[in-house]
Amino acid sequence: MKKRIWIPAVLCLLLSGIAVFAAVRNGRVPSVQRPYRDLRASEITFAAVRLTPPDKTVRIVECRELADYLKEVVIYQRDNSYKEYSGQAVTFMLTLEDGTQTEIMAYNPFLVIDGVGYKTKYEPCEALSNYANRLLNEENAPVILDEPPALAVVSAETSAGALLGTYSWQSSSHDGEVLGMEADSAHPLDCREQMVCLDTTEETALLQFQEPPDGAVNVRCWSDAHWSKPSAESEAVTVRGDEIQLKKGGYIYEVLAEWETKGGCGGGTASYSFYIKYE
């Protein structure tokens, strides 16, 4: 009687093992991995994180805390359905001492490593996101500026994007190479086709830079009677902090701003122009 029970039991165990093996092979049972469990902070020669939104990149100067968070990351099976989700993504860009570069995007409940998505353990991924936002919100956070920041002009609760003009810019690549960029542009009075008119009944407008400039902001303007006349003489515009005093009628405004080049985060000078009618 015992033999009759024993043989079916063995067969059940054998069949169960085959089923589990087949499930793992077909990807139905997730394999658990900690891809950065052996990562040391000393191995990281460059680190930065980009937060989207608000589309800003911060350089990470001290990498010990980052390495500690990455060691706790757990990934399961591959899953690229993260492309169907919406929310904030934080992407860490690392260069290691052997020269390899990698990108790790925390996008709960996913972790995306060099473009390949994985389901991930919630808590370590959330810790990475919180860490990135804390870095961004620190006073004097080293925001990396690979190019001049965008400028929006706001008046009477209406916003318009400014047109980027001539600029001189420096930034650093991941391997520390300094990259210089020089860009020229047409005079603002020759850019009528590229500007959208902002109509306002308020006598002031706010300059909202994606990243505030370090130096003084200078503004000048021309009456729209001078369109296509770049030799026309400009008028001075009063600036108080991030607010400018508008002139009555239609005017084309040009802003010149400066960002300090410090800590390999990029900087330089840039000009912007926009068209406002104040009645």
**What pLDDT is stored for residue 220 in this prediction?**
98
Q: Return the residue matching tokens 């052997």.
A: 98
- Among 133, 125, 164, residue whose Cα is nearest residue 34: 125
Distance CA(246)–CA(227), nearest Å, equals: 18
**What pLDDT is stored for residue 188 in this prediction?**
98
Percent of the chain at pLDDT above 70? Answer: 86
The mean pLDDT of 101-129, rounded to a whole number, is: 96
Which band of pLDDT confidence, cut at 50, 70 and 90, is reported for residue 176? low
- CB-facing half-sphere around the CA of 7: CA atoms within 13 A: 3
SS (H, E, C) 254-271: EEEEEECCCCCCCEEEEE
- Please tell me whether the overall predicted TM-score, pTM, comes out greater than 0.85 for this model: no
Q: Does pLDDT of 29 surpass 90?
A: no
- Among 249, 95, 100, 257, residue whose Cα is nearest residue 166: 257
**Which of 242-278 are b and which e, b meaning 16 or more Cβ less than 10 Å from the residue's Cβ?**
eebebbeebbbbbbbbbbebeebbbbbebbbbbbbeb
pLDDT of 127-148, one tens digit each? Answer: 999 999 999 999 989 999 989 9
pLDDT of 32-90, one tens digit each? Answer: 799 999 999 999 999 999 999 999 999 999 999 999 999 999 999 999 999 998 899 99
238: helix, strand or coil: coil
Which band of pLDDT confidence, cut at 50, 70 and 90, is reported for residue 154? very high
**What pLDDT is stored for residue 261 in this prediction?**
82
Q: What is the mean pLDDT of the chain?
A: 89
**What pLDDT is stored for residue 219 in this prediction?**
98
Helix ranges restricted to H, the chain: 2-25, 64-71, 122-137
